[in-house]
Amino acid sequence: MTVVIRDLRPGDPEDGESVVRVRRRALPFLLHTAEGVAFELASAHPAQRYRILVAETAGGHVVGAAQVGIAHDSPEPGQSKVNLYVDPAHRGIGAGSLLLRTAEEYLAAQGAVETYSWVLEEPASRAFAERRGYRPSRSAHFLGLDLATAALPPVPDVLPPGVEVRPASAFAADPRPLFLADAETTSDEPSDVGVEFDDYEEWLGHTWNNPALDKELTTVLLVDGAVAAFTAAHTDGATRYSSGMTGTLRAFRGRGLARLAKIISLHRARAAGYTEAITGNDAGNSPMLAVNRRLGYEIRATETRYAKKLETV
């Protein structure tokens, strides 16, 4: 079967929906929406050289997609990423191979010397990556929770001394305190590629203005008036609620604040009608993994970060 690779057509809702269908079938453990795909492309930093590649059959059927870009915020130059999604019903026709080759050639032409890709922990996917020179590094888990029936821990009747709860919407006039909290906690997250998290305007455009970010369900804890912990909530506007970054600033760790923020946010999500909660954890992040397990989350799947040195152009 003939497969061609092209770029996603910006502003074409049908093309965006086709990419969403592929992503949902290939990786159902994440939140995928057409609005999110469009935003992902439109909000990318110019230095990221970001592209969404599409694999299409001669009959015009989209069977695969790829996220391709330079890690422009890494202090180490030449880092990049490529994440592949191929519809399981259309594997074996060369779509994944052609997407990956096109992505690698593009990244090398942009000056990338190494690329990373997340690969689902299944024999076929691992073999695909390893045959093409990729080598595994660290792993992460996808977790899920039936929010409609889960026995969530109750929200405490009385909060710890000095603790206040605010939705992210309370910071609409000045979200910079949330940016600073996000920057500090993200810098402590396990990662193969370092990040210089210091661009407030980019954060506003890419994180704060993300249409999936639910600013009412995103929960912030203050201690004596200062932001101490938070959990970011993304939703599909229908049934699925996803916990994004959850973190506690260093000065406030060890008090159970991250768990409290998640409990409050989950209760609010259930009250808003969401029935499924999903999240992700680096396999080495034992504290947060333990928090999520105590909340009732179960591991649904695991993926591994693979890396490959690229041939320079």
The predicted-structure confidence for 173-192, as pLDDT tens digits, reads as follows 999 999 999 999 988 766 55
**pLDDT score of 196 more than 70:** no
- CATH 3.40.630.30 domain position(s) in the chain: 3-141+303-309, 152-295
Please tell me the predicted confidence (pLDDT) of residue 256.
Answer: 94
Q: Tell me the one-letter amino acid at 164.
A: E
* Coil, strand or helix at 76: coil
Please tell me the predicted confidence (pLDDT) of residue 18.
Answer: 97
Fold of 152-295: Aminopeptidase (3.40.630)
**pLDDT score of 193 more than 60:** no
Q: Average of pLDDT values for 122-133?
A: 96
- Number of other CB atoms surrounding residue 115 within 10 Å: 25
Please tell me the predicted confidence (pLDDT) of residue 32.
Answer: 95
Given the candidates 3.40.50.720, 3.30.460.10, 3.40.50.300, 3.40.630.30, the CATH classification of the domain at 3-141+303-309 is 3.40.630.30
The conformation of residue 39, written as its DSSP 8-state character, comes to H
**pLDDT score of 67 more than 60:** yes
Please tell me the predicted confidence (pLDDT) of residue 68.
Answer: 98
* Coil, strand or helix at 182: helix
Q: Classify residue 2 by burial, with Cβ atoms within 10 Å: 0-12, 13-18, 19+.
A: exposed
